[in-house]
């Protein structure tokens, strides 16, 4: 995999940092254990993985795709990182991402864009474009992403790979640099559903270091993926979300989705149409809640505690150092989010914006609850379009935000959701994703249906 990275990453740019020495040492440690006849620590011992650069890694740089954290070496591992190491997973390095995970194309990285391995002129999705591109380009066997509004599933869809957002609280957020704390969730990126399940079981589980971690057994995702692989969905009730489709969706994506629904039916699933009327308001609600939380979370980058500090020559006040550093360290999208969030939270506007968005969030959760009384899983296209061209939407934030239309509801409700490849669009020959959504703590249903379908 290190050779493959050396051969192709100049063109793909999936990695911000390749930890050659650390990876070889971890691989050697697994080999030595096996040579003594010891059992491997997990089924993934020795498997090379790429880690999104938003999870801390002790002794290895973590930038979150931002100049603000350039040169910062975390003194501790995120819980996800620790669990990977304990399982014997070989961490190859850190992957490129939109700055602080804000974006849908990886073009907001301060270190240049990642290219979609299917067509280097196109985006690999975002914010975790580096993670999904690395597995699509066979630079890593597995990857970890984080999904606040779609950043695992949308890159999965446009790179033809599997991406899973676990139930909120199912995977520890300790050491995941916070964007929007009530939405952020780390999860697996893989080339098959079973691979994703094996990785899911390694990283999931209760963690006392995360106050929103759920103290419940990890859903049996590996068993579900194995069960699904027999291709039988008899008795499984599948709901097609009526609100996703129509204007703004590429006909090629909708045709691929239609074929996917037919295939689920052919596998024995009972397919019905389900209406979730509040999903229409998910995008505006998300773009108030996520920036509000971000404006608060990013206050920690004060030029004193981490990374970049400019104008530090004694001639400026602490306040000037802070504002000059933040001006230089943050890119335009991060500044836009801080402005939006600060505005939405300010007195006089709080009830109208943040308060209303929270009410919409409750309505979306209720739509899911009502839907899951009728069906076991919901399905939709993962994204309205296939991978767009690099540069095409950079000057149009609304068009960029539109990429997450179908993925955001599951974040707002804290539910589990997966994107699984559903072939190539007959319009442009690019990968399309099928999104499968399940209730909180029913992540196993995604794997059963996803494995049967793939
Ligand atoms: N694209 C969405 C945003 O820009 C989602 C990002 C994410 O899931 N991290 O906020």
DSSP 26-82: HHHHHHHHHHTTPPPSSTTTT-EEEEETTB-BTTB---TT-GGGTT---SS--HHHH
- Cα Rg of the chain, angstroms: 21
User: Any idea where the domains of the chain sit in the sequence?
Assistant: 2-282+355-453
Catalytic residue among 66, 104, 127, 131: 127
Spatial contact of 375 and 242, defined as CB atoms under 8 Å apart: no
Q: How many CA atoms lie within 13 A of 241 on its CB side?
A: 31
pLDDT at 246: 86
Which ligand 1 atom is the nearest neighbour of the CA of 102? Answer: 4
Q: What is the pLDDT along the chain (454 residues), one digit of tens a residue?
A: 999 999 999 999 999 999 999 999 999 999 999 999 999 999 999 999 999 999 999 999 999 999 999 999 999 999 999 999 999 999 999 999 999 999 999 999 999 999 999 999 999 999 999 999 999 999 999 999 999 999 999 999 999 999 999 999 999 999 999 999 999 999 999 999 999 999 999 999 999 999 999 999 999 999 999 999 999 999 999 999 999 998 899 999 999 999 999 999 999 999 999 999 999 999 999 999 999 999 999 999 999 988 899 998 999 999 999 999 999 999 999 999 999 999 999 999 999 999 999 999 999 999 999 999 999 999 999 999 999 999 999 999 999 999 999 999 999 999 999 999 999 999 999 999 999 999 999 999 999 999 999 9
147 CB within 6 A, ligand 1: yes
The answer to whether ipTM exceeds 0.95 is: yes
Q: How far is the CA of 412 from the centre of ligand 1 (A)?
A: 12
151 CB within 6 A, ligand 1: yes
Mutate which of 97, 102, 291, 337 to test ligand 1's pocket (most atoms within 8 Å of Cβ)?
102
Q: How far is the CA of 180 from the centre of ligand 1 (A)?
A: 9
101 CB within 6 A, ligand 1: yes
Q: How far is the CA of 151 from the centre of ligand 1 (A)?
A: 5
Spatial contact of 423 and 256, defined as CB atoms under 8 Å apart: yes
407 CB within 6 A, ligand 1: no
Which residue has the least CA distance to atom 5 on ligand 1? 149
pLDDT at 354: 95
pLDDT at 376: 98
242 assigned to active site:
no
The Cα–Cα gap between 448 and 48 comes to 25
131 CB within 6 A, ligand 1: no
Overall fold of domain 2-282+355-453: Amidase signature (AS) enzymes (3.90.1300)
181 assigned to active site:
no
Catalytic residue among 151, 180, 278, 419: 151
315 assigned to active site:
no
- DSSP-assigned letters across all residues of 308-352: ---S-SSSS-HHHHHHHHHHHHS-HHHHHHHHHHHHHHSTTTTII
């Amino acid at each position: 995999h290190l050779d493959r990275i050396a051969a192709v990453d100049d063109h793909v740019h999936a990695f911000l940092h390749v930890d050659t020495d650390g990876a070889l040492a971890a691989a050697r440690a697994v080999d030595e254990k096996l040579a003594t006849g010891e059992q491997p620590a997990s089924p993934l011992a020795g498997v090379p993985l790429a880690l999104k650069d938003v999870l801390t890694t002790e002794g290895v740089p973590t930038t979150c795709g931002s100049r603000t954290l350039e040169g910062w070496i975390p003194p501790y591992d995120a819980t996800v990182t620790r669990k990977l190491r304990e399982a014997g997973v070989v961490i190859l390095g850190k992957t490129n991402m939109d700055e602080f995970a804000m974006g849908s194309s990886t073009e907001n990285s301060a270190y240049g864009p990642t290219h979609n391995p299917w067509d280097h002129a196109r985006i690999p999705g975002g914010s975790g474009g580096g993670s999904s591109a690395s597995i699509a380009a066979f630079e890593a066997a597995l990857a970890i992403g984080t999904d606040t509004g779609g950043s695992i599933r949308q890159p999965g869809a446009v790179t033809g790979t599997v991406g899973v957002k676990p139930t909120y609280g199912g995977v520890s957020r300790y050491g995941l640099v916070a964007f929007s704390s009530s939405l952020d969730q780390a999860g697996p990126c893989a080339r098959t559903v079973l691979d994703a399940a094996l990785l899911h079981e390694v990283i999931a589980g209760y963690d006392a270091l995360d106050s929103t971690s759920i103290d419940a057994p990890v859903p049996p995702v590996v068993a579900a993926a194995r069960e699904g692989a027999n291709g039988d969905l008899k008795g499984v009730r599948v709901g097609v979300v009526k609100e996703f489709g129509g204007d703004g969706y590429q006909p090629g994506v909708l045709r691929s989705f239609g074929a996917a629904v037919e295939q689920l039916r052919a596998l024995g699933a009972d397919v019905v149409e389900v209406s979730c009327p509040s999903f229409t308001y998910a995008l505006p609600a998300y773009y108030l809640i996520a920036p509000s939380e971000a404006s608060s979370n990013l206050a920690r980058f004060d030029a004193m505690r981490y990374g970049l500090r400019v104008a530090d020559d004694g001639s400026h006040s602490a306040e000037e150092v802070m504002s000059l550093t933040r001006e230089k360290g943050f890119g335009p999208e991060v500044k836009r989010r801080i402005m939006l969030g600060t505005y939405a939270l300010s007195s006089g506007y709080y009830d109208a914006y943040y308060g209303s968005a929270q009410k919409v969030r409750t309505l979306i959760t209720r739509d899911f609850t009502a839907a899951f009384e009728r069906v076991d899983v919901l399905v939709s296209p993962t994204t309205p379009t296939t991978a767009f061209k690099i540069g095409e939407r950079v000057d149009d934030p609304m068009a960029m935000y539109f990429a997450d239309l179908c993925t955001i509801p599951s974040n707002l409700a804290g539910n589990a959701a997966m994107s699984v490849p559903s072939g190539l669009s007959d319009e442009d020959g690019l990968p399309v994703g099928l999104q499968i959504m399940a209730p909180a703590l029913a992540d196993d249903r995604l794997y059963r249906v996803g494995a049967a379908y793939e």
